[in-house]
Amino acid sequence: MALVRIEGDDLVVVIEGLDKLWALKSSLTIPLANVRGATADPGIASEPKGLRAPGTHAPGVITAGTFHLDGERVFWDVKDPSKAVVVELADERYARLVVQVDDPRATVALVENALR
């Protein structure tokens, strides 16, 4: 699971617990200027992930790490698709972040309010 918070002009995603091991990352910091928006999207887990490099993918268990699909790099940290949030980015290493959070609606509201 991930914690998403706003720190000044940055969006900070902190990867918790063993997910750090599976995702091979402990946190990501993205300037808010490069965040396009966020949506709760439980259906994204059924979409193709692309090539894993590096990361972990055990279907129905966990998708974590960096995946390459259609020329884009996507960061994943999802075990429970019903709690997935997608953060769209511009001019960043990743085109989007797909992370599991405790409260998807609150996380989307946090990001969207920070962008206003």
Say which CATH number the domain at 51 has: 2.30.29
Determine the pLDDT at residue 53.
Answer: 86
More confident residue, 80 or 60: 80
The count of C-alpha atoms lying within 13 angstroms of the C-alpha of 6, restricted to the half-sphere facing its C-beta, is: 16
> Which residues is 78 bridged to in the sheet?
63
| Whole-number Å distance between alpha carbons of 80 and 64 | 12
The yes-or-no verdict on residue 50 having pLDDT over 90 is no
User: What is the domain count for the chain?
Assistant: 1
Mean pLDDT on 58-74: 93
Q: Is 42 helix (H, G, I), strand (E, B) or coil?
A: helix
Residue 104 has pLDDT above 90, yes or no: yes
Residue 34 has pLDDT above 90, yes or no: yes
User: Which domain covers residue 97, as residue numbers?
Assistant: 2-115
